[in-house]
Amino acid sequence: MKLIRTRSEPAASADHAAGPRHQWKLLVVDDEPDMRELTRLNLKGFRFADRDLDILEASSAYEARELLAAHKDIGVALIDVVMETDDAGLRLVEYIRKDLKNLMVRLIIRTGQPGLAPERFVIDHYDIDDYKDKTELTATRLYTAVRAALKSFRDLRTIDLNRQGLERVLAAAPDIYRITNRSLHQFFQGVLTQIIGLCNLSDSSFISTVGGIIATFDERDVTVQASSGNLTIQDRFEKIRAQCSEAVLTGQMPDGLRKDAYVVPLLVQRKPVGFIYIEPTQDLSDADRGLISMVAQQCSSALENLRLHIDLTQSYDHMVDMLAKVAEFKDHTTGSHIRRIDHYTRLLAIELGVSPEESNLYGKASRLHDVGKVGIPDAILGKPGKLDMTEFDVVRTHTHIGGNILERDRFLAVACDVALHHHERWDGKGYPEGRPSREFHLVTRIVSVVDVFDALVSRRPYKEPWPSERAAREIQIGAGTQFDPTVVVAFLKLFKQGKFDHIVSAAQQATDLPEPFDGP
């Protein structure tokens, strides 16, 4: 499917008929009303790069500051030197460059008293772009100076937008092989920012249009991954999205879009999976269109990476679920316990500052903490009562068995750490290796806490469930000896906030019996 370009005539689009989509902004700072009026007359009908000129007037440096605060996209400023003070204009230049840190706006000093601000001194000591004596600034020279300044502003803005886009793309690059929806969005936003710079679109100053969109398809749903411009005109935005989606899916050119707008399909294995829609301010060259097509290919590759990532993640989830099911079939009482440990672990990981995405991985790893019990004899697992020392020694071997099952797959490295070491203690008196638990993964130390807590609040053949407050006190007592004290502090905080109440309730109401417990 090739690049689609709309060929609608201006009259065919109500949006286009409304006139230019945005204007260049020129700030005129002068305390002489006649000079401001003369400037406006001399620049009447001014047009550059298919855009008109919006002239903003200030009679003092103070008024200019207010206009600069209200209009972040001023391209050029004509500044008189002598206004409220003999150097008011020069102080305004310093304010723009140093205080506002605005390096984009082009500054032209225009003075009627060159003796108070000599040209060479001003050029050497102030960050300006041009110096003009009012007596020499005829209508033609004013036109030339403003046009040159606007061209410089446009080119600098294009470079800056491409820099911003490149920064976003590079920021997303480290995740290219484990890309997520979040990093994909960042990648697409960076790509769109670069296209904006390439096409001289406006990233923030559109009044009644959408500058650009990158969208993807999920079956028949359309998700906007990146956008620019003012999206308050919601009906137009929805119209564009619907028209572009239909165009890419059917291969038919859409009607009613702006003249010279482009729709670029995103293809994965020759199937449309999304589109890039842009509205350039002027027709693009063949080189520009070729570059945009290349960008579309990169977006498609990113989407393909995401699809592979999702497939890999789903395969990992299925593998974890299958292994957890094995343990559950071996001991049918294990299933609900595994699900509760997963839930506890995710909540506690987030409280400890782990990202939601990472906490989900922690929860999955926790589900395999007792997978080694598949190697424990049924007579011991199902014994209706406390275990004797010999039986308890057999149960202890489930950590080594679990480690041996999981150690051969690098994707299960964290789960292997949990299965092998979740019975180690903070003081180094646990098993199987008797090493301080601070040496192991955070999720292992989390599971050590929640595994004991869940066992305490669960029903056993020889005891009723402990009240949750009593079980929490037992966890608190073990801080610094059996458990990581930092994990215990976070656990108790969530417990007091009631974040575990629904999990505890499920454990206490369960009719099945959890696996043998080797704690209190």
Q: Which are the catalytic amino acids?
A: 373
31 and 111 Cβ atoms separated by less than 8 Å:
no
Cα Rg of the chain (Å, integer): 34
Q: Cα(218)–Cα(298) distance, rounded to whole angstroms?
A: 19
Q: Cα(293)–Cα(185) distance, rounded to whole angstroms?
A: 19
Tell me whether residue 13 is exposed, middle or buried, using C-beta atoms within 10 angstroms of its C-beta: 0 to 12, 13 to 18, 19 or more. middle
Burial call 249-281: b when 16+ CB within 10 Å, e when fewer:
eeeeebeebbbbbbbbbbbbeeebbbbbbbbbb
Q: Rounded to 5 degrees, what angle do the CA atoms 237, 239, 241 make?
A: 70
Q: Find where tokens 């489930």 sit.
A: 398
C-alpha torsion sign, points 230, 235, 236, 240: positive
Q: How many CB atoms lie within 10 A of CB 471?
A: 22
Instruction: Look up residue 180 and give its DSSP letter.
Output: -
276 and 264 Cβ atoms separated by less than 8 Å:
yes
Q: Distance of CA 354 to CAs 183, 214, 294, 349, 440, Å?
A: 17, 31, 37, 5, 16
77 and 61 Cβ atoms separated by less than 8 Å:
no
Q: Distance of CA 351 to CAs 356, 488, 491, 495, Å?
A: 10, 11, 8, 11
Tell me whether residue 511 is exposed, middle or buried, using C-beta atoms within 10 angstroms of its C-beta: 0 to 12, 13 to 18, 19 or more. exposed
* Token couple for 69: 């605060």
